[in-house]
């Protein structure tokens, strides 16, 4: 059985699009389509129902998909065993990271990792559903390693290694009534319009939980798909935000939060039961040893005007 055809089938099954699967595999669409047809011919059954606008797995395709993922995982483990003889790691590692946000200096980590392990290919991707989507992709075998900032780390199917923990801060536009304050409480923001990320992001999950515990109701006026986009809307005067102190915030005033959520904690996660291969374990070690991308503080935010009222 052609392993490449199996890989192409899995990519199409997960993307439900030959176009997206081809982009993910850096292959021509015709090549991916041909690989899937070849596998269907070998198995003697259709794996997809195809229309001019969409495609979905057949019942046979649904049964084959977990076996195909297991076959690819076994191939990765075979590479690991072979690598023991010459101490050269091989294979491919799929890393799920946050869109537009590096909690570690990811380009530097990748460059160093590739220099040490030139036979390992890295595939980096993000999820439009934040940490919730990344963890789901990891569970389903779409990723080998994933970042997560979800507060619940008790999932028995995952192994989580802490990377960094950062406090939440308030961002307000210049001239805002709270811009001169050194610190504020969540209740003081209740009447404001808020900017935040979409539901499913770890920072949003943690903040929503804390607001509920504090009995603070808020009015969301804008929800954005990436955490680094939040300060742009605050700087434009759209609303206020409470974010982890990891985002650059030009044009905003940063104010400390007295009663905010527990620190925004980011971990790197792998599956427990079909644990990561040697290459994935090496990448996890590199990420854990790299340290945070920046230290918490007002970098990227405007200096706070002189305080005129106690906080």
Mean pLDDT of the region 137-156: 87
Mean pLDDT of the region 62-75: 86
Residue 189 maps to a domain: yes
Question: Average pLDDT over the chain, rounded to whole?
Answer: 87
Model pLDDT, residue 276: 78
Model pLDDT, residue 307: 54
Residue 38 maps to a domain: yes
DSSP character string of the chain: --HHHHHHHHHHHHHT-HHHHHHHHT--HHHHHHHHHHHHHHHTS--EEE-SS-EEE-HHHHHHHHHHHHHHHHHHHHHHHHHHHHT---EEEEEE--TT--SB-HHHHHHHHHHH-TTEEEEEE--TTHHHHHHHHHHTTS-SEEEE--S----TTEEEEEEEEE-EEEEE-TT-TTTT-SEE-GGGGTTSEEEEEPTTSHHHHHHHHHHHHHT---EEEEEESSGGGHHHHHHTTS-BEEEETTS--TT-EEEEESS-PSPEEEEEEEESTT---HHHHHHHHHHHTT-BSS-SSSTTSBPPPPP-S--
pLDDT band for position 54 (cuts 50, 70, 90):
confident
The CATH number that applies at residue 227 is 3.40.190.10
Residue 83 maps to a domain: no
Choosing from 41, 58, 74, the residue where a domain stops is 74
Residue 201 maps to a domain: yes
pLDDT band for position 81 (cuts 50, 70, 90):
low
The CATH number that applies at residue 19 is 1.10.10.10
pLDDT band for position 120 (cuts 50, 70, 90):
very high
Model pLDDT, residue 182: 95
Residue 90 maps to a domain: no
Model pLDDT, residue 300: 44
Model pLDDT, residue 219: 95
Residue 145 maps to a domain: no
pLDDT beyond 50 at 310: no
Mean pLDDT of the region 262-291: 89
167-195 tens-digit pLDDT: 999 999 999 999 999 999 999 999 999 99
Choosing from 42, 74, 106, the residue where a domain stops is 74
Q: How many domains, the chain?
A: 2
Model pLDDT, residue 83: 57
How much of the chain exceeds pLDDT 90, in percent?
A: 59
Residue 94 maps to a domain: no
Residue 43 maps to a domain: yes
- Structural domain of residue 238, as residue ranges? 165-262
């Amino acid at each position: 059985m052609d392993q490449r055809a199996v890989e192409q089938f899995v990519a199409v099954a997960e993307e439900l699009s030959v176009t997206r699967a081809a982009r993910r595999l850096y292959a021509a669409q015709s090549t991916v389509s041909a690989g899937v047809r070849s596998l269907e011919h070998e198995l003697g059954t259709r794996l997809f129902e195809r229309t001019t606008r969409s495609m979905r797995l057949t019942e046979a395709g649904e049964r084959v998909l977990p076996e195909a993922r297991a076959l690819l995982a076994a191939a990765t483990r075979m590479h690991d065993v072979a690598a023991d003889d010459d101490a050269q790691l091989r294979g491919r590692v799929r890393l799920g990271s946050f869109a537009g946000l590096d909690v570690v200096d990811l380009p530097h980590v990748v460059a160093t990792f590739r220099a040490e392990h030139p036979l390992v290919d890295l595939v980096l991707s993000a999820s439009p559903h934040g940490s919730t989507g990344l963890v789901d992709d990891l569970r389903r075998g779409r990723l080998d390693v994933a970042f997560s900032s979800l507060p619940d780390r008790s999932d028995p199917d995952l192994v989580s290694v802490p990377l960094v923990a950062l406090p939440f801060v308030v961002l307000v536009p210049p001239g805002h009534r709270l811009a001169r304050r050194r610190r504020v409480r969540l209740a003081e923001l209740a009447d404001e319009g808020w900017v935040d990320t979409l539901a499913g992001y770890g920072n949003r999950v943690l903040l929503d939980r804390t607001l509920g515990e504090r009995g603070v109701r808020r009015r969301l006026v804008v929800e954005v798909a990436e955490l680094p986009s939040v300060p742009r809307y605050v700087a434009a005067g759209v609303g206020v935000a409470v974010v982890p102190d990891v985002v650059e915030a030009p044009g905003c005033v940063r104010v400390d939060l007295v009663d905010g959520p527990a620190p925004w904690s980011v971990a790197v996660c792998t599956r427990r039961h079909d644990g990561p291969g040697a290459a994935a374990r090496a990448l996890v070690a590199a990420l854990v040893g790299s340290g945070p991308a920046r230290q918490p503080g007002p970098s990227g935010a405007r200096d706070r005007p002189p305080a005129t009222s106690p906080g």
